[in-house]
């Protein structure tokens, strides 16, 4: 038997002058080049590089 547990979507709002650096430290793809109203798909990783979640970062 195989069971897949899918967690519901969530929205996280990051603001402030260090928000981009914080998000980049948590995310697998480069996001600092992103312009306004653009999305980037990637993975949220822990300190060991293991996947915690996947999703989009919108700017």
Identify the pLDDT of residue 57: 87
Q: Is the pTM of this model over 0.75?
A: no
Task: Please indicate whether residue 47 or residue 34 has the higher confidence score (pLDDT).
Answer: 47
Identify the pLDDT of residue 47: 86
Element spanning 19, H or E:
helix 19-26
| Three-state secondary structure readout of 20-59 | HHHHHHHECCCCCCCCCCCEEEEEEECCCCCEEEEEEEEC
Domain ranges of the chain: 34-59
Q: Does position 9 have pLDDT exceeding 80, yes or no?
A: no
Task: Please indicate whether residue 24 or residue 12 has the higher confidence score (pLDDT).
Answer: 24
Identify the pLDDT of residue 7: 65
Identify the pLDDT of residue 6: 62
């Amino acid at each position: 038997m195989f069971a897949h547990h899918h967690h519901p979507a969530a929205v996280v709002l990051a603001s402030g002058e260090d928000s981009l650096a914080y998000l980049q430290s948590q995310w697998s793809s480069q996001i600092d080049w992103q312009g306004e109203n653009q999305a980037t798909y990637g993975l949220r990783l822990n300190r060991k590089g293991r996947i915690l979640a996947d999703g989009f970062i919108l700017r």
